Amino acid sequence: MAEPLLEISGLTARFGEIVALDVVDLTVPAGRIVGVIGPNGAGKTTLFNVICGFVRPQSGVITCKGQALHNHRAHDMAKFGIARTLQSLGLFAGLSVLENVLVGATVHARTGVLSALFALPRADREESALRDRAMAHLETLGIGRLADKPVGGLDHGSRKRVALARALLGEPELLLLD
């Protein structure tokens, strides 16, 4: 049997006296769609927050592709092949749809800050390729026509699609949809 993409064992998280996660076990095989369901307040967002390093658990083990995630931080998730959408979406209202999606491309950027700053040819090619991929995701999600529109003026459903396109642009192996 193949190694699971994500495995959680004995995960417990508390906020003071409130037990948010009580000895949670979960296995996510590669290539599968797995849902975590429950009523409001059941701990779904807390589980995602622990997986992503926003919240430290009191006990338990999380492994991704066989590697233990220990004292990891949210900004490390892309390195592990994990992306996430947030309930609050985390979009930048003043930026366009396309600009918001391109924020998700930082994990794939190969050129350095200086190359981009001086507009060297490699940086231009990389930016063009990322823009093309971002537009492809927007088209697939049915919102390509909104690429130049400010996110702040969009309805909630369209903003959710922008957040999804941003997550997909990072080409994650595991996508957590909250």
Q: Which CA distances in Å does 157 have to 30, 126, 136, 141?
A: 28, 30, 18, 11
The domain that contains 64 carries what CATH number?
3.40.50.300
CA distance 9 to 25: 4
Question: Pairing state of beta strands 6-15 and 82-85?
Answer: unpaired
Choose the final residue of a domain: 80, 105, 138: 80
Comparing 39-43, 118-122, 132-136, which segment has the lowest mean pLDDT? 118-122
The type of residue at 9 is: S
State pLDDT tens for residues 67-123: 888 788 777 788 888 888 877 778 888 899 999 999 866 654 555 444 444 555 666
Q: Which residue's entry shows tokens 């006296």? A: 17
Q: Does one domain contain both 25 and 66?
A: yes
pTM of this prediction? 0.76
User: Which residues make Cβ contacts (< 8 Å) with residue 117, sequence separation at least 6?
Assistant: none
Q: Does one domain contain both 154 and 101?
A: yes
Query: Could you list the residue range(s) of the whole structural domain that residue 123 is in?
Result: 97-172
Q: Does one domain contain both 76 and 127?
A: no
Q: Does one domain contain both 34 and 70?
A: yes
Written as six digits, the tokens of 95 are 């930026």
Q: Does one domain contain both 75 and 103?
A: no
The count of domains in the chain is 2
Strand partners, 175: 83
**Interval 144-148 mean pLDDT:** 95
**Residue 77's closest CA among 177, 178, 170?**
170
pLDDT range class, residue 148, cuts 50, 70, 90: very high
- Predicted confidence at residue 76, as pLDDT, reads 78
Is residue 91 in a domain?
no
